[in-house]
Each structure stands twice: as structure tokens, then as C-alpha cells.
Amino acid sequence: MLKEVIATRYITPLREGGSLPGLVEADDFGTYVMKFTGAGQGRKTLVAEVVCGELARRLGLRIPRLVTIQLDPVLGLGEPDQQVQELLRSSGGTNLGMDFLSGALGFDPLAFAVSRGEAGRIVWFDALVNNVDRSWRNPNLLTHRGELWLIDHGATMIWHHNWPSAETSAARPYDASDHALARFAPDVARAAAELAPLVTEELLAEVTAEIPDAWLAGEPGFDTPDDLRRAYARPLLARAADIHERVHGIKGIEGDK
């Protein structure tokens, strides 16, 4: 399970994100970027962060370590920003945190070269989880100590916003024409050969087990959190088998030459 920490100090909001994440200190003396259950996108965004982040980590991609952060709403009483105060007040309980990578920079494709292999693995992974938020406009990639790190996976697996149509939604292809790494000629076929066999029922059960029950409770159409965990796993298992054949918009991929 994800490590659980307790927020001890709210440092500052990070206004780059639409959900207004914040920088916090915790009782383990760590500094984390915290995403809140009370933010506009709600707990499903946090579920997506956990599923995609922990899956990416197990596939060998670089993701800041994830933790759950217990928040006492009293932490916001002294916050002068009314919007932040309301966010803290509405997010009591279990929230999500990720290690703050001190000194990390936003990815600049003109200053940081990416190999075809690494670009292919990231594009394949984004196709698997249907990440619509890794464009050249907003890469959601960091460079840290000479390495590329993936962040912000809340805008993935859009099918979990409408479970009755999830199977149809998950069967759609992936448009990579705006992908931040498209210019590096990503080798998606090679990535699929390496990574797709790793995406098994057992691996997905391990990943979805990391989702806190509190974020799964009360979902219409599901009796238990474990039923919902299996629903998260099914589309990913199906997409892993052939999504590389349905990635469009990158020169060199069959059908997009």
C-alpha cells in the first residue's frame, strides 16, 4: 500500500495546475506536492493519479513517489487566500501526495533530447491510459538530474467518468499528433513488445489495490471497492494487447507515414 503521512504545514499553492495543488510538509519530514479530494475534479482525479502513476512505475518509467496524506482541515485556518482556505477545509481526510523534486525543470524539447526508445515507451504508456494531457502545450514532464520524469495523470482513463460506456470508450484509438514527444520519432512498436506482456491481471490487481477504499466508496453500479478496482483493470488489460496498432498522428507509424 502507499505510504501514509500526515500533513503538518501548508507551504504554498502551485498555481500552474487547474486543481490548485499545494506544497506541504508532512510528519515524515518530507515535502510533497499535494492534490486534494475537495478540488473541482474530485476523487476520480486522484484515483487516476494512483492507477497510472503506480502502473508507470512498475513498467520502469520515472514517477515521483506517491503517498497518501492525511489532512486536518484546521491546517487551513491561518491561510490568507480564501480559495486555498476553502480547498483545505473541504479536503479533510485522505488526499494524494507526490515527492517534490527540488530543482526539477519543466521539459523543454529544444533543450532536452529524448531517445526514440524512451519516447516510444512514454507514448505507448500514454496511449494505454489514454492520456490527453501530455501535449507540446502542456507536457506534464519534468527534467531532474538529467532524467525525464512523468507527472500529472489526472486526465487519463476518461472512461471512468461514465462506466456504462467504458468498454466503448476504451476501445477508441489514441491520437498522438499533439504529444510532447512526437518530434522524437517514438518507437511505439518496440515499446509495445517490451511493455505489453508486463500488463497482466496480476499486475493490474496489484496496482489497483493501491487505491484507498475511501476514494472508491459509493460509486453507482458497484457493490464494493474491489468490484470497482476490477473495472479499472479491465480496459487497461484489453488496451495493452493492441493499442500500439491504434496510435495515430506520429510519422513513421503504419497508417501515418
Amino acid 255: pLDDT: 38
Domain span holding position 68: 3-99
Structural domain count, the chain: 2
In a domain, 43, yes or no: yes
Q: Do 119 and 242 share a structural domain?
A: yes
Q: Do 167 and 226 share a structural domain?
A: yes
Reference 63, options 96, 112, 109; nearest CA is 96
Find residue 247's DSSP bridge partners. 174
Q: Do 244 and 177 share a structural domain?
A: yes
Reference 139, options 116, 155, 157, 115; nearest CA is 155
Compute mean pLDDT per 10 residues along the chain, 257 residues long, and list them: 96 78 96 94 94 98 98 88 91 97 95 97 98 95 98 96 94 96 97 98 98 96 97 97 95 50
pLDDT digits (tens, 9 = 90+) for 4-35: 999 999 999 997 656 789 999 999 999 999 99
In a domain, 119, yes or no: yes
Q: What is the pTM of this model?
A: 0.95
Q: Do 110 and 92 share a structural domain?
A: no
In a domain, 209, yes or no: yes
Distance in angstroms (rounded) separating the CA atoms of residues 75 and 7? 8
pLDDT digits (tens, 9 = 90+) for 90-123: 999 999 999 999 999 999 999 999 999 999 999 9
